[in-house]
A and B are shown apart, each in its own frame.
Chain A
């Protein structure tokens, strides 16, 4: 369990804040952060704060959940294309499954991802919800 806590704690700035990287060589925006830029294979660079806005590239509804997610069924998981370029996998929240569409604008929120048993470790991180209509 201790090891599990360290594992999630280590990733907290990206999980809670969507902090990635910007490559100093090719300028590519990188999420999740890595040690090597996936575009140009140079060493990846300084932290970059993503806006948290993007659109749904694809989505699915999970009925048979892996261990640790059984109590959330059914839930929607999507591939979200961030406006800065990278794509990430995340759950959608605050939306009816039937209303989810490819191309739908979404924004990041921080929520509980999973809990291991009644008193177990709670993992928090990014989910996405439909973008709230902004006043022009």
Chain B
């Protein structure tokens, strides 16, 4: 197997792009990534996307986007794993390059959520859950996370305000990211006064619906120097799965697939949690931040919110998370999110994260969660010296 590195990145601002369609968004991110890498053609294109069929009545994104981006003829497919589609697509690209079947590969994650009405999008997101045994009972995707959060609060004796620090940190970082959807910091008071969406999850626990696209270009590490001096090596790429339905899990307040994929990523890379300079976790909801920190070895079970309250998740803390705003403030364009996390990790490792730069960041982790934890993709990235 060949070692794989990232030689180019691109992203559109996240938000409501009323005048830009799905294919344009994808093209803009792809174009920027190819310019950044200095490549004019790629051997294959992998598209991460969840909801194009439900929201835009458009399937077949591989061929569609390859053609629209001026690459008609190349190998191109869409990869779908609910909200983990983006990182799953990156892993497919890595497999293509590592196997030796492809040399230069483009991966783009794209989601266009504002082309349909709210209840239709809510129903689409719920397709990440078990249709016959969860969704049929009227549970929304937010509702599923609320079930997990309430039980977690009950078991560990926590209050809603204990989760505020996650939201405050994400917004503080997003405020300084020009591509973030929300550019204003919030206070704990804003968090506490927000309206309820699905009790106990309120507006500031949850990430917003939005549009966006992000892209990366991959090639064998041994060829990376030909393209750029600031390439980033993929030290590990892993996927683990769990039951789709929360009620089928052994412990509904533990992300087993996060533990499994992280454990394997640590083993493959030789790194440990304490080696990470940052952790781009999947903060679709504040509860997911707590569970991710615990499952990946950064906090003991039930201690995730304490880590946040003690300031250890901020840019200057022990394990900075959501360094460019995370899903909460940068936004969560579902199938694009996993690629945004990797693009942002590359910015940190290149030293290009602007006001949000973690001094001398050398190695970091990105983790993308599909559904309420059924597919979890972990990447460990490091600077090529």
Spell out A's residues near B (CB within 8 Å). Answer: 7, 11, 32, 38, 57-70, 72, 75, 77-79, 86-91, 102, 113-114, 123, 125
Nearest CB on B from A77, distance (A): 5
Contact partner of B138 among A58, A59, A91, A102, CB < 8 A?
Answer: A91
Nearest CB on A from B137, distance (A): 5
Contact partner of B199 among A32, A61, A65, A66, CB < 8 A?
Answer: A61
> 12 interchain pairs (CB within 8 A)?
A38-B248, A57-B252, A58-B150, A61-B199, A62-B198, A72-B138, A77-B143, A78-B147, A87-B247, A113-B136, A113-B137, A125-B137
A68 to B122, CA, bound (A): 11
Q: Across the interface, which residues of B come within 8 angstroms of A86, CB to CB?
A: 247
Q: From known contacts A79-B247, A79-B252, A87-B247, infer whether A66 and B150 are also in contact, taking CB-CB under 8 Å.
A: no
Does B146 make an interface contact (CB < 8 A)? yes
Q: Are A79 and B246 in contact, with the CB atoms below 8 A?
A: yes
Q: Are B139 and A62 in contact, with the CB atoms below 8 A?
A: yes
Count the B residues whose beta carbon is within 8 Å of the partner chain — how many?
35
Does B360 make an interface contact (CB < 8 A)? no
Q: Across the interface, which residues of B come within 8 angstroms of A114, CB to CB?
A: 136, 138
Does B245 make an interface contact (CB < 8 A)? yes
Q: Across the interface, which residues of B come within 8 angstroms of A75, CB to CB?
A: 138
Q: Across the interface, which residues of A come within 8 angstroms of B196, CB to CB?
A: 61, 63
Q: Are B122 and A89 in contact, with the CB atoms below 8 A?
A: no
Q: Are A89 and B137 in contact, with the CB atoms below 8 A?
A: yes
A89 to B123, CA, bound (A): 17
Spell out B's residues near A (CB within 8 Å). Answer: 118-120, 122-123, 126, 132-140, 142-143, 146-148, 150-151, 154, 196-201, 243, 245-248, 252
Q: Across the interface, which residues of A come within 8 angstroms of B201, CB to CB?
A: 60
Nearest CB on B from A113, distance (A): 6
Nearest CB on B from A99, distance (A): 14
Q: Are B120 and A60 in contact, with the CB atoms below 8 A?
A: no
Q: From known contacts A63-B196, A63-B197, A102-B150, infer whether A89 and B133 are also in contact, taking CB-CB under 8 Å.
A: yes
Nearest CB on A from B140, distance (A): 5
Q: Across the interface, which residues of B come within 8 angstroms of A38, CB to CB?
A: 243, 248
Q: Are A66 and B123 in contact, with the CB atoms below 8 A?
A: yes
Q: From known contacts A32-B132, A79-B247, A89-B245, infer whether A61 and B119 are also in contact, taking CB-CB under 8 Å.
A: no
Q: Are A69 and B147 in contact, with the CB atoms below 8 A?
A: no
Q: Are B133 and A63 in contact, with the CB atoms below 8 A?
A: no
Q: Are A64 and B147 in contact, with the CB atoms below 8 A?
A: no
A68 to B201, CA, bound (A): 22
Tell me the nearest residue of chain B to A78, going by C-beta.
Answer: B147
Residue from A58, A77, A91 with most neighbouring chain B CB atoms (10 Å): A58
Nearest CB on A from B302, distance (A): 16
Q: From known contacts A32-B132, A79-B246, infer whether A65 and B147 are also in contact, taking CB-CB under 8 Å.
A: no
Nearest CB on B from A39, distance (A): 10
Q: From known contacts A87-B247, A88-B247, A89-B246, infer whether A64 and B118 are also in contact, taking CB-CB under 8 Å.
A: yes
Given contacts A64-B142, A65-B122, 6 further A-B contacts (CB under 8 A): A59-B150, A64-B140, A66-B119, A67-B119, A67-B120, A75-B138
